[in-house]
């Protein structure tokens, strides 16, 4: 077997430490940010239920199918004011949490008018719409 020419051999050896370093960096990031990710991706029964509310804003607030459909057309990172044009005031505000390192996120819950046991939870970061999830009681 003939040895590889010098430039090919050195390229193969230098890529291994680079890949290993990237994998190590990714693993460290996941470990440090795991608490925030785990809180947001918690089992659906764990959040937010009415007793998870920090502040009741509008006790008779309900989200219609039309409002839900309109909300789903709003892209992430759009302004919080744009979302509020569609959904109005929430039923309640949930405790803030850290989803990503260094960013405090606000959450608001909206019960669905057509399924009272389900709530839509909207996430905001720095007055920007950051996403939603459903909570099933």
Query: What is the Cβ-side half-sphere exposure of residue 72, based on CA atoms within 13 angstroms?
Result: 10
Confidence band of 83 (pLDDT split at 50, 70, 90): very high
pTM of structure: 0.60
pLDDT of residue 6: 59
* The two structure tokens encoding residue 87: 């959904």
Nearest to 108 by CA among 32, 37, 69, 53: 53
Tokens (6 digits) for 19: 């890949």
The tens digit of pLDDT for each residue in 58-75 reads 888 899 999 999 999 999
Q: Count CB neighbours of 95 within 10 A.
A: 13
* Mean pLDDT to the nearest integer, 23-48: 53
In this prediction, residue 8 carries a pLDDT of 54
Residue 12 has pLDDT above 80, yes or no: no
Domains and CATH numbers, the chain: 42-136 (3.30.1450.10)
129 backbone dihedrals φ, ψ, rounded to 5°: -70, 120
Higher pLDDT, 30 or 58: 58
Beta carbons within 8 Å of 62's beta carbon, 6+ residues apart: 91, 110, 111, 112, 113
Q: Which helix (H) or strand (E) holds 33?
A: helix 6-40
121 and 56 in contact (C-beta within 8 Å)?
no
User: Is the per-residue pLDDT at 14 higher than 50?
Assistant: yes
């Amino acid at each position: 077997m003939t040895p590889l020419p010098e430039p090919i051999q050195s390229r193969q050896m230098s890529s291994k430490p680079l890949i290993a370093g990237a994998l190590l960096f990714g693993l460290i990031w996941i470990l440090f940010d795991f608490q925030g990710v785990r809180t947001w991706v918690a089992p659906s029964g764990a959040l937010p239920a009415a007793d998870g509310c920090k502040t009741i804003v509008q006790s008779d607030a309900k989200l219609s199918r039309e409002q839900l459909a309109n909300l789903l057309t709003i892209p992430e990172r759009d302004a919080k004011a744009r979302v509020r044009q569609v959904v109005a005031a929430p039923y309640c505000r949930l405790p803030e949490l850290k989803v990503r390192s260094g960013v405090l996120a606000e959450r608001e819950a909206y019960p669905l008018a057509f399924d009272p046991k389900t709530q839509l939870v909207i996430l905001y970061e720095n007055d920007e719409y950051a996403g939603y999830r459903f909570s099933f009681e």
